[in-house]
Amino acid sequence: MSEKQKIIAFTGGGTAGHVFPAFPVAERMRSAGFDVIWIGSKRGMERKLVENAGIRYYGIPAGKLRRYFSLRNITDIFRIAAGFCCALRILRKEKPNAVFSKGGFVSVPPVAAARCLHIPAMTHESDVDPGLATRLNMKMGARILVSYKETLSYLSPEAAKNAVVAGNPVRDDFFNSETADPEKGRKIAGLEPDDPRPLILVLGGSQGAREVNDLVYGSLDAMLEIAAVVHQTGPGNPALAEKYGYLSRPFFHEELPHLLAAADLAVGRSGAGSLWEFAATGTPAIFIPLRGSGTRGDQVLNAESAEKSGMAVILPPDSGPEDLGRIVKELFLSPNGLSAMKAAAAAYPAEEAADRIAEVIKECAI
């Protein structure tokens, strides 16, 4: 009788940042002979992404975990309890050898269920400071894997001792010369082979970022004096009239790795996914982190870490378009500014992260 195939249950969702980094890890587990399933929200955006990746998906009820008072916290307690019961049934049925959480509120019930069933669990944190879901998963015994060494200072001494600094995984397309080809990226940008202009890539996010877009719209003429500009505006956001050297699209899909490989400078938010994708292609960045009461400040800490490493600069709070244009010009006119930033970006362990995480999962799988 052949030995039963080992199974790893992945969990996480709510945003693409809790899904895409897990895919290269899942591929490595499959290559090692493991079957992979995913436990996510019944109504979450992650279902389509996961199923398109060929991974079996189980949907469970999910409630959001809020740090502030809200009447919805009361109703969501029941959703979380229902999610726990569903996750318990799924884990009993599938009998996975380990549970791996990529974060998000939906990951807490499966990790809790794993503890009840004595299944090893791991939780990965993409940001510098651990989010609430990661902290709860740790309290339920999940071993933490972190992207940054700085994150260890946010952990208890015991958790920090057992933590693994692994980096944040990036899909393999960003490391493949066929899918991340600078020449193809410049062609997509509309640049001829003999065009000497450098390229700036602006990423407003998959849903766009009004602040980023407005700053770029106001500084575009200054940028175009020294470089060509490709701008992901986000769907539903207004596009500027076509200008020489300027290309805007609502969203880039398979073109993104090509464009990042070609870009001499990137401008955008400092979510963990974007930051590590920039690192994967060695692309210097100007970060405009999301600030204010609507965020826990994770993007600010991510950006500060990147600035400290030398791969990025942060646009100061309350800056206007003229400030962005000035910083762009200073970077391009500095003798070694961009080359030093590029080297710092390339020093991130983006390519090794998925391998490191997969090895930890294999070690923990019972």
Contact of 9 with 100, CB cutoff 8 Å: yes
Give the H/E segment covering residue 276.
helix 272-280
pLDDT at 336: 85
pTM for this predicted structure: 0.91
3 state SS of 246: strand
pLDDT confidence tier of residue 14, bands split at 50, 70 and 90:
confident
Mean pLDDT of 19-33: 96
pLDDT per position as a tens digit, 319-353: 999 999 999 999 999 878 899 999 999 999 999 99
Distance CA 166, CA 293 (A): 30
CA dihedral 207, 210, 215, 216 (to 10 degrees): 40
Contact assessment for residue 235 and residue 250, using Cβ atoms and an 8 Å cutoff? yes
Task: Residue 76: name the closest of 64, 67, 59, 84 by CA.
Answer: 64
Q: 27-31, 207-211, 295-299, 358-362 — which is least confidently predicted?
A: 207-211
3-12 pLDDT per residue, tens? 689 999 999 9
The residues with which 137 forms a beta bridge, in sequence order, are none
**Side chain identity, residue 356:** R
What's the rounded Cα separation, in Å, for the pair 126 and 134? 10
pLDDT of residue 213 exceeding 60? yes
- Provide, rounded to the nearest whole percent, the portion of the chain with pLDDT above 70: 94
Strands in 246-249's sheet, in edge-to-edge order, are 246-249, 228-232, 199-203, 265-268, 285-287, 312-314
What's the CA gap between 306 and 291, in Å, rounded?
A: 16
196 CB-side CA count, 13 A: 2
What mean pLDDT comes out for the span 58-81? 75
Residue 11: alpha-carbon gap to chain centroid? 15
Q: Which amino acid is at 309?
A: S
pLDDT tens profile 107-166:
999 999 999 999 999 999 999 999 999 999 999 999 999 999 999 999 999 999 999 999
N- to C-terminal Cα distance for the chain?
20
Is residue 1's pLDDT more than 50?
Answer: no
**67 pLDDT more than 80:** no
Indicate whether 238 pLDDT > 80.
no
Burial class (CB in 10 A: 0-12, 13-18, 19+), 266: buried
Contact assessment for residue 266 and residue 260, using Cβ atoms and an 8 Å cutoff = yes
Residue-wise pLDDT tens digits, 169-181: 999 999 999 999 9
21: part of which helix (H) or strand (E)? Answer: none
64 has pLDDT over 90: no
pLDDT over 70 (residue 294)? no
CA distances from 68 to 14, 71, 279 (A): 18, 10, 34
Distance CA 351, CA 281 (A): 10
Q: Yes or no: say if 22 and 100 are a contact pair by the CB < 8 Å rule.
A: yes
Question: Mean pLDDT across the stretch 81-90?
Answer: 96
pLDDT, greater one: 76 or 288: 288
Q: What is the pLDDT of residues 178-192, one digit of tens each?
A: 999 999 999 999 999
